[in-house]
Amino acid sequence: MVVKQIYNSFLTCSDFNKKVITFVKIQKKVIMSNLAKDLIDRVKLKNPNEPEFLQAVEEVVENIVPIFEKSEKYLKHNIVERLTEPERTIIFKIPWVDDKNKTQVNRGFRVQFNSAIGPYKGGLRFHPSVNLSILKFLAFEQIFKNALTGLPIGGGKGGSDFDPKGKSEGEIMRFCQSFMNELHKYIGPNTDVPAGDIGVGSKEIGFLFGQYKRLKNEFTGAITGKSFDWGGSNLRPEATGYGNVYFAQHMLKTQDDSFKDKVVVISGSGNVAQYSCQKAIELGAKVVTLSDSSGYIHDKDGITNEKLDYVFYLKNEKKGRIKEYANKYNCDYFEGKPWDISCDIALPCATQNELNEEDAKKLLANGCFCVSEGANMPCTPKAIILFQNEKILYAPGKASNAGGVATSALEMSQNSLRMSWSSKEVNEKLKNIMLQIHDSCVKYGSDNKYVDYVKGANVAAFYKIADSMIDQGVV
């Protein structure tokens, strides 16, 4: 009897209860971890030698697996395996003739990944690094990014290993026409709507659309990023960069802070970097770096609007190197990446995996407390873990750079309506979309006064995509 009383009192002990609760939580974590590993292993088995794609999948799966504990329907409908398998992958030959009358051959791709919430939507990338792994990662990320916008667009991506650098206008035109000779069979305003990406600017979009129009004998919104004169949207070139800064602005507001008087480092010097720089300057920040594949400039006095105008000319018209900025304005130039420069805010706007663990350590040591991705997956997983462990403001690209595709979708709407909206109207819509994305991330990513924006973005998008897939049956 005494033993029983002692045992019962032991059971009621708060310490014991805490230990039991902790044990149960640990067991649940182990189960969820094993489930995540099993799901990832199955994806790895189907997709060997595709590191970029697998990296993107792992990040998402780790965030969404805890959902399965609350609702078994996602396991029952095998959503993860269905979601990680593209609905269609198209690979094709692109023969074209250069200026020396020599026949060249490149490889073209279009990954139509998921159309559960709308027609496939995503850019075309022309770059020597393009391969199936990179395009699958970009298309997979695009599914989630597009879902976060709240607009009815699915996820896709495409491109070619063609390098437009150093090519004449005639060579670029002939390549684009040959590329579209095949691609036009698979796209359309209600099927798949490509846009620009690295290596595909206004010139390339013009050639691509012109050939599409010629082949289909119709003028429809089958491609976005068009010139305003023939169906494009106001603010489209600016949208990704502006949206990135708007998102960072919302993160800063959660801590009663702003861009005013903050030191900002930016990587890249292309479209996204340029307009991120422009908007940050407008909001009162001091931007001190831009970069390209050779190195970066460090302008201690800050990049002004006048200096930025030169960057626009240098990169968009002259096609020069960022080092020329240093020569013109007598500032420092270094080889490598700008992450060892002291700053408050970092905006990686160049390319995937450009900011690694060592770079993250440098940023944190130098006082950086906010990182917002303008590029797609520019931070490596280890870098992200460091940012999150230090509880700094960190935004993944699928959330912070969604402004570009959001404005592309607005262009689709304008094309369907046969009308155009003013820059002010588009900007207000963009601001509202970025606010909506931020609020969704906060809703699903908040934990003990810290917002895990990666988790928030992945979970918010997953619910929308997965539920839509279930609603539409096994297709």
Q: Catalytic residue positions?
A: 157
Q: Phi, psi (5° rounding) for residue 370? A: -150, 125
Tokens of 48: 């060997």
Cα(267)–Cα(97) distance, rounded to whole angstroms?
35
Tell me the chain's radius of gyration from C-alpha atoms: 24
Alpha-carbon distances of 258 from 217, 241, 248, 344, 369, rounded to whole Å: 50, 17, 9, 11, 12
Extended strands (E) in 208-253: none
Alpha-carbon distances of 171 from 100, 103, 176, 184, 310, rounded to whole Å: 10, 11, 9, 20, 27
In the 8-state DSSP scheme, what is residue 394? E
Report the SS3 class of residue 118: coil
Beta sheet of 295-298, edge-to-edge order: 332-335, 295-298, 286-291, 263-267, 345-348, 370-372, 393-395
Q: What distance, in Å, lies between the first and last C-alpha atoms of the chain?
A: 64
Give the type of residue at 350: A
Report the SS3 class of residue 97: strand
Extended strands (E) in 415-472: 446-447, 450-451
- The answer to whether the beta carbons of residues 238 and 401 sit under 8 Å apart is no
Tokens of 445: 């990513």
